[in-house]
Structure 1
Amino acid sequence: MKRRNFIGALGLGAAASTLARPAIAQSSPEVNWRLQSSYPTSLNTIYGAGTSFSKFVSDATDGKFKIQVFAAGELIPPLSIVDGVQSGTVEMGHTGAYFYIGKDPAFAFGTCIPFGPNARQQNGWFYQGGGNDLYNEFCATYQIHHLPIGNTGTQMGGWFRKEIKSVEDIRGIKMRIGGLAGSVLQKLGLVPTQIAAGDIYPSLERGTIDAAEFVGPYDDQSLGLAKIAPYYYFPGFWEGAANMSLFINLNKWNELPERYRAVMQQAAMAAGAEMTAKYDAQNPIALRKLVAEGTQLRAFPPDVLQQSYAAARELYTELGEKSPAFKKLLDHQTAFRDQTYQWWQIADFSYDTLMLRAKHENW
């Protein structure tokens, strides 16, 4: 995105031209921050959202606000972003919020919950439905501020060494799986573990795990998971959408000039839109290549989906009794999601169904 266009999109161009230079200088101090990512540079989709965000912020502030991005593990461990941001080791982090459900299950809503909204519903909830404001009420108890930074869309269900024909085949499988999905599938007998992206391939190769999910074809291809586990399942019902998060030290956020906070909000939206577009463009290409190279594409059996849905509802009742923040966010997001479905089935769902029929029936 060109700098002039980005500033114009922020609504800052005209305002800046009317300000006296001293006023601009006062509102544009030199600021240097560090952003620690949970992701390696090889994942140019997710990690790339962080670098795009940094560039947009710098461009929109004439280089006055600089954010240096560090790849997974360079300053702090990839799954310790919340701790690092809280303590001020880094000013901000780029991560999947559901990595931190061990602190409070409510963290999951920064990314997703199993059988939650799709990507557009989730964006609507965050930006127009009051979801991010409510989530930030929770985040403030951890002295952090949250900005959404893009959505992967619906993810895949992961890579398995053996074929899954029924719920019985789930039992005993050791699987890398993120967020609350592990707790859901644990009720079906699966053994979940949560490890960082860069550790998935070696863990699968050594046999430490039997299966793994990450995002979708483009990223999964980059990680080389098809070389070890041939069966690739869909849909990733635990990630009907998956939002990426920027966590910012709350004191540092509050110290920023209002103009810089506005720039960060808009830069996160722009970088997030770019990331989602990359997935939409690259996933179809990557999936075709994986299948051509021998990947066995499979749909989860109906009993896996049905029993997982029941297990998720049971889990949410349990978590809501332990975490008031979880219940508050669950009720709010569920109400927003459900009220969108009447429109969704009339508009997008019916249109997509129509177009798929036209394609497959060769109208």
Structure 2
Amino acid sequence: MRIPGFGGKVLANLGVNVQVLPGGEIFLALERGAIDAAEWVGPYDDEKLGLNQAAQYYYYPGWWEPGSTFELQVNVDQWNQLPKEYQDAIESATADTNVHCLARYDTLNPQALKRLRDGGTQLQPFSPEILTACRQATQELLEQQASEDSSFQEVYGSWIEFQADIFSWHAVSELAYAGFAIRR
């Protein structure tokens, strides 16, 4: 399977033969049978690569990347030398980029998903067993990384606390509403 990054490490730990290929090579690798599956971005970008022409199944959810965000990394010493108004402009531009990107994909992905389905692509959910195994392997990998890297541990601890809070909130807001609205 073509899947880079942390998701690839998780799947490799579960026995998947992980390949890291550039985007431009994914279609040919699928078409020629060099890989059996590929992770890319989402329906809109998958369709642009023509992945639906080489693979008939579309598995979901993309647990390794539940949402897209961008980041900008800047040397803190260089950042501190910038005038405050430049810092503010960069923070504003990066925040706007994230919001714009999410809104754009929220508009384009449903349209592309419809085209994929209309063209014969079959949507298949990952089984609860697969999702559970992936979640457990992810937690093990995160714990291992945290035990080996104090900076990672600091961020990870804060993230775990936030995750518990946001899951609690989303259970009564986003998930509850979606469960109601989507059934209609």
* TM-score w.r.t. length of structure 2: 0.90
Q: Determine the structure 2 residue equivalent to 1:115.
A: none
Shift of the 201–249 alpha-carbon distance from structure 1 to 2, 3 Å rule, reads: farther
Cα offset, 1:209, TM superposition? 2.3
Q: Determine the structure 2 residue equivalent to 1:291.
A: 117
Q: Determine the structure 2 residue equivalent to 1:323.
A: 149
Cα offset, 1:251, TM superposition? 5.0
Structure 1 stretches lacking a partner, 5+ long: 1-174
More helix, by proportion: 2
Pair member with larger Rg: 1
Q: Determine the structure 2 residue equivalent to 1:208.
A: 34
Q: Determine the structure 1 residue equivalent to 2:128.
A: 302
- Whether the 8 Å contact between 2:27 and 2:51 is mirrored in structure 1 is yes
Which aligned runs of 4 or more in structure 1 are off by greater than 4 angstroms?
Answer: 249-252
- Whether the 8 Å contact between 1:176 and 1:209 is mirrored in structure 2 is yes
Q: Determine the structure 1 residue equivalent to 2:62.
A: 236
> What whole-Å deviation, never above 9, does each CA across 1:308-362 have from its counterpart, x for those lacking one?
11211222222222222222211111101102233222222211111112x2xxx
Structure 2 stretches lacking a partner, 5+ long: none
Q: What is the aligned counterpart of 2:23 among 194, 197, 207? A: 197
The one-letter code matched in structure 1 to 2:3 is I
Instruction: Determine the C-alpha separation between the residues in 1 that align with 2:24 and 2:164.
Output: 36
242-251 or 277-286: which moved more? 242-251
Alignment of 1:174-193 (within 5 A): 175-193=1-19
More strand, by proportion: 1
Q: Determine the structure 1 residue equivalent to 2:158.
A: 332
235-244 or 216-225: which moved more? 235-244
Shift of the 255–206 alpha-carbon distance from structure 1 to 2, 3 Å rule, reads: farther
The one-letter code matched in structure 2 to 1:312 is T
The one-letter code matched in structure 2 to 1:335 is E
Cα offset, 1:276, TM superposition? 0.6
What secondary structure is seen at the aligned counterpart in 1 of 2:124? strand
Q: Determine the structure 2 residue equivalent to 1:74.
A: none
Give the alignment's Cα RMSD to 1 decimal.
1.8
Shift of the 292–190 alpha-carbon distance from structure 1 to 2, 3 Å rule, reads: same
> What whole-Å deviation, never above 9, does each CA across 1:260-299 have from its counterpart, x for those lacking one?
1211110111122111111111111100100110111111
Q: Determine the structure 2 residue equivalent to 1:271.
A: 97
Q: Determine the structure 1 residue equivalent to 2:49.
A: 223
- Whether the 8 Å contact between 1:184 and 1:312 is mirrored in structure 2 is yes
How many residues are paired up?
184
Instruction: Determine the C-alpha separation between the residues in 2 that align with 1:309 and 1:249.
Output: 33
Q: Are 2:82 and 1:261 aligned?
A: no
